[in-house]
């Protein structure tokens, strides 16, 4: 004996339609709950997507070799206080470490760049052609460095977008001469825009020059061939550990450090650090979702409350249905379907509200929001479960009624 789902749903809709205001208010709890879950997950996912983008913009599978620390009078200074890395170290890593895909030695400083009557202070980074591959960077115009530029310590420069905007406005800078610390440089290319880094640093406010030129003309070095850091791109994410080991072994050998001695350099896995940041946003997203689902729970309690009222009000109706042969489960099903109709309708409206809210948030506050199909399915499923869970007790109560007493009830 199957009472069709359709008939039961029709009965439920009619019962809810009779008390339009009450049904709407009851649904409101679920609407707000589902809406906030959708919006919160959209905001959280937008944030974590943005971080992923920034991770990608930094360059993937990135290792950074830093000079070691100085110990003077028992006081240990920070990393990079003692310059121990050389250009030759970088070349050796490129030659000898099989897990390394690209290498870019870095010697950086800050200097004033001048073009005509415009000037701008920016980060000057002395490096090699490998920098583009290491940082997953590309040029929008001009040409990259060549090995010849490095060997000859050519006075050529690649500019980031921010520098171009500040010095040239909308003019094409390629082929123009700019001055860095009074030394004239020819602009040979412009870098593609990368946007902000995870920590909010402008990744386009820089100028790349050959590392040899930097050593000789722009940035003071304590010894010939010194570089501050060496950026490394491993062949793949899985090869990062191997690359790290190979570099450590090689530099230990080159710097003549015995196996027990303290290293005069350190290697950091930048990608890993960013992945940690990514993970923390993901936790944040879950937390937001969890807080939002509390309101869904409150909405569910609202449904239970109204369903209990409804069962009491309709005692006689239940009695009539029982008298003409409704079995326990048919009565239970009727009220359960009614609760689920409330919660699922609320869920659908809530999803729409959540989508609209996240659109508004991204328009007005400029937050990246991403509505994943999974969060929609999850919210809808969850609201259905709320209906079943909170509808069950009232339905159970209705099914326990005694038909005679129910019929006698006014």
Partner 1 sequence: MIRTLDVTKIYQVGEMTVPALNGVTLSIGRGDFVSIMGPSGSGKSTFMNILGCLDLVTAGRYLLDGVDVSHFSKDELAEIRNRKMGFVFQGFNLLSRASAQENVELPMLYSGTPAGERRERAREALVKLGLEGREHHLPNQLSGGQQQRVAIARAMVNEAPLLFADEPTGNLDTKTSMEIMDLFVRLNEESHITIILVTHEMDIAAFSRRVIRFVDGVVVSDVKREA
Q: Which is nearer to partner 1, 259 or 325 (CB)?
A: 325
Interface residue with partner 1 among 14, 151, 193, 363 (CB under 8 A) is 14
Shortest distance, CB of residue 391 to partner 1, whole angstroms? 20
Residues 381-410 that bind partner 1 (CB under 8 A): 403-404, 407
- Among the listed residues 134, 103, 96, 131, the one whose alpha carbon sits nearest the alpha carbon of residue 245: 96
- Alpha-helix residue ranges (DSSP H) falling in 59-115: 87-96
Q: Which is nearer to partner 1, 112 or 402 (CB)?
A: 402
For residues 337 and 296, give the distance between their C-alpha atoms in angstroms, rounded to a whole number: 18
Interface residue with partner 1 among 323, 356, 360, 374 (CB under 8 A) is 323
Residue with tokens 């870095």: 106
Residue 326 near partner 1 by CB under 8 A? yes
Q: Mark the segment that binds partner 1 (CB under 8 A) among 101-109, 212-220, 231-239, 325-333.
A: 325-333
Residue 18 near partner 1 by CB under 8 A? yes
Interface residue with partner 1 among 28, 101, 320, 388 (CB under 8 A) is 320
Residue 21 near partner 1 by CB under 8 A? no
Interface residue with partner 1 among 95, 143, 193, 316 (CB under 8 A) is 316
Contact 394, 307 (CB under 8 A): yes
Residue 56 near partner 1 by CB under 8 A? no
- Among the listed residues 214, 200, 196, 188, the one whose alpha carbon sits nearest the alpha carbon of residue 132: 188
Between CA 230 and CA 236, with CA 233 as vertex, the angle to 5 degrees is 155
Q: What is the pairing mode between strands 100-115 and 183-191?
A: unpaired
For residues 374 and 259, give the distance between their C-alpha atoms in angstroms, rounded to a whole number: 52
For residues 56 and 50, give the distance between their C-alpha atoms in angstroms, rounded to a whole number: 10
Q: Mark the segment that binds partner 1 (CB under 8 A) among 1-9, 48-56, 305-313, 351-359.
A: 1-9
Q: Mark the segment that binds partner 1 (CB under 8 A) among 2-10, 25-33, 102-110, 283-291.
A: 2-10
Interface residue with partner 1 among 105, 189, 302, 319 (CB under 8 A) is 319
Task: Find the helix or strand (DSSP H, E) in which 34 lies.
Answer: helix 20-58
DSSP 237: G
Size of residue set near partner 1 by CB under 8 A: 26
Residue 317 near partner 1 by CB under 8 A? yes
- Among the listed residues 123, 251, 141, 247, the one whose alpha carbon sits nearest the alpha carbon of residue 193: 141
Residue 325 near partner 1 by CB under 8 A? yes
Residue 227 near partner 1 by CB under 8 A? no
Shortest distance, CB of residue 405 to partner 1, whole angstroms? 10
Contact 387, 342 (CB under 8 A): yes
- Among the listed residues 68, 92, 88, the one whose alpha carbon sits nearest the alpha carbon of residue 80: 68
Where does this chain bind partner 1 (CB under 8 A)?
A: 1-4, 6-7, 14-15, 18, 316-317, 319-330, 403-404, 407
């Amino acid at each position: 004996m199957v009472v069709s789902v359709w008939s039961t749903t029709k009965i439920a809709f009619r019962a809810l339609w009779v008390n339009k205001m009450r049904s709407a208010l009851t649904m409101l709890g679920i609407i707000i709950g589902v809406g906030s879950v959708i919006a919160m997950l959209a905001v959280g996912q937008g944030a974590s997507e943005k971080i992923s983008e920034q991770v990608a913009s930094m360059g993937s599978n990135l290792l950074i070799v830093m000079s070691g620390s100085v110990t003077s009078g028992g006081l240990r200074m920070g990393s990079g206080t003692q310059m121990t890395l050389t250009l030759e170290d970088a070349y050796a890593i490129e030659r000898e470490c099989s897990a390394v895909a690209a290498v870019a030695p870095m010697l950086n400083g800050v200097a004033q760049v001048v073009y005509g009557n415009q000037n701008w202070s920016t980060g000057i980074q002395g490096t090699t052609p490998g920098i583009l591959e290491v940082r997953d960077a590309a040029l929008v115009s001009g040409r990259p460095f060549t090995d010849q530029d490095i060997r000859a310590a050519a006075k050529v420069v690649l500019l980031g977008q921010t520098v171009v905007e500040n010095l040239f406005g909308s003019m094409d800078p390629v082929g123009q001469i700019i001055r860095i610390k009074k030394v004239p440089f020819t602009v040979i290319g412009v870098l593609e825009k990368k946007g902000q880094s995870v920590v909010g640093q402008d990744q386009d406010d820089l100028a790349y020059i050959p590392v040899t030129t930097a050593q000789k003309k722009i940035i003071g070095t304590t010894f010939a061939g010194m570089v501050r850091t060496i950026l490394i791109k491993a062949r793949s994410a899985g090869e990062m550990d191997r690359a790290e080991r190979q570099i450590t072994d090689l530099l230990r050998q080159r710097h003549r450090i015995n196996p027990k001695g303290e290293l005069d350099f350190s290697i950091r896995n930048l990608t890993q650090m960013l992945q940690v940041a990514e993970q923390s946003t993901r936790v944040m997203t879950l937390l937001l979702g969890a807080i939002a689902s509390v309101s869904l729970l409150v909405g569910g309690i609202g449904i239970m409350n109204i369903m209990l009222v409804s069962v009491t009000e309709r005692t006689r109706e239940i009695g009539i249905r029982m008298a003409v042969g409704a079995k326990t489960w048919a009565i239970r099903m009727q009220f359960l379907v009614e609760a689920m109709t409330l919660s699922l309708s609320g869920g659908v409206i809530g999803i729409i509200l959540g989508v609209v809210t996240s659109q508004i948030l991204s328009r007005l506050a400029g937050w990246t929001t991403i509505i994943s199909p999974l969060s929609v399915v999850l919210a809808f499923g969850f609201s259905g479960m709320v209906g079943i869970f909170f509808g069950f007790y009232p339905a159970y109560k209705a099914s326990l009624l005694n038909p005679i007493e129910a019929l006698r009830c006014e």
